[in-house]
Amino acid sequence: MLFSPVSLAARATFAVALGSLALSPVAAQKVAYAKVIYNDLSKCSSGAGPAIRITVTGLRSNEGGLYVRTFRARDSEWLRSQRYLTRLETKPRKGTMTVCVPLDTTGNYALTVHHDVNDNRKSDLSVDGGGISNNPPVKTLLGIPLPPSLSSASFSAGPGVTRLRIDMHYKD
């Protein structure tokens, strides 16, 4: 006999445990990162959601690109490269404009907005603008902006449309 009855029972228990893990909701939730989306205000219409309708204020020009990144409110993901859920890409409109970010589920999130004035896909601190959900104050060290804490930027998005205002800031 190759296997004792105990080892067969142990293997069967292990197989059942693995099978239950595969069916559990937590194990079934695979997160896709860095998905590119485009501005579609119909996804923030009455009765839609979950989604975030963002009013972006203080845009200095129509030049370049506007990028809104949505992060889950987790320290392990906040402002980490390629750890955003979606990146909304659109053309900026000087002054105030509205964008809509659809969400896969309700929960706690944080957002960044980047006005890439020359659209070179880099942060040029001397010309580009930025904003963060909840508009926390941005501190600097030797003139270099320091990222705000996740707790100051996070918010809860429910099953409907969550409304936010984000004020853009530029280096003067």
Secondary structure in 3-state letters for 82-114: CCCCEEEEECCCCEEEEEEEECCCCEEEEEEEE
pLDDT digits (tens, 9 = 90+) for 62-103: 999 999 999 999 999 999 999 999 999 999 999 999 999 999
- What per-residue confidence (pLDDT) applies to 74? 97
Please state which of the ranges 13-17, 133-137, 162-166 shows the lowest mean pLDDT.
13-17
Which region holds residue 111: left if phi is over 0, alpha if psi is between -120 and 50, else beta? beta
- Segments making up each domain of the chain, as ranges: 1-30, 31-170
How much of the chain, in percent, has pLDDT values that exceed 70?
A: 83
- What per-residue confidence (pLDDT) applies to 29? 62
Cβ-contact 84, 32 below 8 angstroms: no
CA-only gyration radius of the chain, Å: 21
Q: With bands split at pLDDT 50, 70 and 90, how would you rate the model's confidence at 31?
A: confident
> Above 90 in pLDDT, residue 171?
no
Cα(41)–Cα(45) distance, rounded to whole angstroms?
A: 7
Q: With bands split at pLDDT 50, 70 and 90, how would you rate the model's confidence at 15?
A: very low
Distances (CA, A) of 58 to 8, 17, 34, 119, 170: 67, 54, 26, 18, 9
> Above 80 in pLDDT, residue 16?
no
At 45, is the secondary structure helix, strand, or coil?
Answer: coil
Q: Which two tokens stand for residue 94?
A: 């000087």
Number of CB atoms found within 10 A of residue 44's CB: 22
Q: What is the mean pLDDT of residues 28-35?
A: 83
pLDDT digits (tens, 9 = 90+) for 103-136: 999 999 999 999 999 999 998 888 999 999 999 9
Q: Is domain 31-170 annotated with CATH 2.60.40?
A: yes
